[in-house]
Amino acid sequence: MNKQRVYIETYGCQMNVADTEIVKGILSRSGYSFTENAELADVILINTCAIREHAEERIYGRLGAFRTIKKHNPDLVVGILGCMAERLRKQLIEEEQVVDLVAGPDEYRRLPELIDTALVGEKGIAVRLSKTETYDDIEPYREDGISAWIAVMRGCDKFCTFCVVPFTRGRERSRPLMSIVDEVKELTRRGFKEVNLLGQNVNSYRDGEYDFADLLAAVAKVDPTMRVRFITSHPQDFSDKLIHTIAEYENICNYIHLPIQSGSNRILELMNRTYTVEHYLERVETARKIIPGVSFSTDIIAGFPTETEEDHQMTLEILRKVRFDGAFMFKYSPRERTKAFEMGDDIPDEVKTQRLNEIIELQQKISYEINQDLIGKVVEVLIEGFSKKSKDFYMGRTDTNKIVILPKEDLEIGDYCVAKIIRANSATLFAEKAEKLERSNRITKYAEV
Ligand code: 5AD
Ligand code: SF4
């Protein structure tokens, strides 16, 4: 029996969180156990992100800390997994003495072998990308909890010109619908209350004749009291059928993450986003008609190559027009191998920062206003855990993905409840008088009190 203890740190997107569970599934099958304390570990793995330069800088910082631990424990194995491993490959081993193994996102099955080799002092690299790997037969290693993540597809074929993901995660491929449904059944049995279906671009999901809307419906039917969420949608493939499916099933959450990236058609074209602002607005309008109360979030990039002040103003304008509930906002970061990398990085950092700050400021104001309108309303909340600030309060989420802080009353984690909103800022709602809601009488719409 293998006695090695593994410590894993995860950075980046939710796909990496799901991948870490797969890595743990693979390692536990081979007899490895896990520790939460890096200093007690025989093997340290870092699941990395390469989407922006800043993400990689953080990892280099962590390697410094692991170098110190290795000084005290020379047998320690340090491995880099994920997108940065795929992107930098040999360079990581050559330039970072502390690194013993490098494994890209499609090579996790080889981890036991790579770790064994590293334990006897040999460095290893595995960065082949696969057209078919979905880890479908691997049972992810999950602690019991409220919310679970399931990668329903891997990779991306969109090739947005700024994005490194098609190079680090390879071609698009989907997991079979039935095996996803079986996994959701098992999660329900274990008491999970929410499942998040993940893909770089879920609208491209395909299993024979089934598309993503079919998958969502199949998952929603497993347990009507289990919330179903999904990320990320691409505006080009965001179909009417999908919108109708979200509307039809009470337990499919009324929340859509739909990255727009820019409000300028010229920039969208340079980004190879394959839609126009007009198409985007039409999709939002249609979804709002068919799913009353639906909430939207988006991604925005400030300072893409050649972006003018006028383009930037168009981005601010689109924020005002759509009035997103929330947004993830980034400064453009050039990534090697991408098409945009060749366009140069001509927007000075101060200009990027200023534009980003204007975008953030405007979006915060809009989120604040939208949340203020909820004061006095009653919302349905799924309680996910304790408030970060005080054990006397719970933290939960609305169907529309808004965070709610509420009094504990006699409620428990995992309960659905209705709560009256009494205060709000741009990121959080605060509630009073939360009351348990039996699973059978769930509401999903806001009600007036
Ligand atoms: N620079 C800045 N932001 C980026 N994103 C992807 N690539 C880059 C980049 N090179 C952002 C996009 C995407 C989100 C996941 O990250 O907005 O939707
Ligand atoms: Fe990157 Fe575009 Fe694919 Fe998203 S859709 S992962 S931004 S290439």
- How far, in Å, CA of 197 to CA of 181, rounded? 11
The torsion angles phi and psi of 393, rounded to 5 degrees, stand at -125, 150
Ligand 1 atom at shortest distance from the alpha carbon of 164: 7
Question: Which tokens belong to 16?
Answer: 């990496």
Cα–ligand 1 centroid distance for 369 (angstroms): 26
- How far, in Å, CA of 447 to CA of 449, rounded? 6
Is 51 in contact with 163 (CB distance < 8 Å)? yes
| Ligand nearest to C-alpha 234 | 2
pLDDT averaged over the chain? 94
Position 373, amino acid = D
Give, in order, the Cα–Cα distances in Å from 152 to each of 86, 168, 181, 200, 235.
21, 18, 10, 10, 19
Segment 73-90 shows an average pLDDT of: 95
pLDDT of 223 over the 60 cut: yes
> For position 1, what pLDDT does the model report?
52
- How far, in Å, CA of 93 to CA of 90, rounded? 5
Instruction: Please tell me the residue having the least CA distance from ligand 2 atom 4.
Output: 200
Q: Which CATH number fits domain 147-372: 3.90.930.12, 3.80.30.20, 3.40.50.620, 3.40.50.720?
A: 3.80.30.20
Q: Domain locations in the chain?
A: 5-126, 147-372, 378-441
Write the Ramachandran bin of 191: left for phi over 0, alpha for psi from -120 to 50, otherwise beta. Answer: left
- Residue 261 in contact with ligand 1 by CB distance below 6 A: yes
Segment 16-43 shows an average pLDDT of: 96
- Residue 160 in contact with ligand 2 by CB distance below 6 A: yes
Of all residues in the chain, the percent with pLDDT exceeding 90 is: 93
Reported confidence tier of residue 2, pLDDT bands at 50, 70, 90: low
- Residue 51 in contact with ligand 1 by CB distance below 6 A: yes
What stretches of 263-411 adopt beta strand conformation (E)? 295-302, 326-331, 377-386, 393-398, 403-407
- How far, in Å, CA of 217 to CA of 228, rounded? 10
| Ligand nearest to C-alpha 337 | 1
Instruction: Please tell me the residue having the least CA distance from ligand 1 atom 18.
Output: 299
> For position 3, what pLDDT does the model report?
76
Superfamily of domain 378-441: Nucleic acid-binding proteins (2.40.50.140)
- How far, in Å, CA of 284 to CA of 294, rounded? 10
74: CB partners within 8 A, 6+ apart: none
Residues 125-177 have pLDDT tens digits of 999 999 999 999 999 999 999 999 999 999 999 999 999 999 999 999 999 99
CATH level 3 topology of 5-126:
Rossmann fold (3.40.50)
Please enumerate, as own/partner, the contacts of 277-280 that have beta carbons within 8 Å and a separation of 24 or more: 277/314, 277/318, 279/235, 279/236, 280/235, 280/318
- How far, in Å, CA of 387 to CA of 408, rounded? 10
Is 427 in contact with 367 (CB distance < 8 Å)? yes
Strand partners, 206: 211
Is 275 in contact with 318 (CB distance < 8 Å)? no
Strand partners, 407: 393
Segment 265-277 shows an average pLDDT of: 98
| Ligand nearest to C-alpha 260 | 1
**Closest Cα to residue 56, out of 80, 30, 24?**
80
Omega within 30 of 0 (cis) for the link into 232: yes
Report helix angle 177-189 to 212-222, nearest 10: 30
Is 135 in contact with 108 (CB distance < 8 Å)? yes
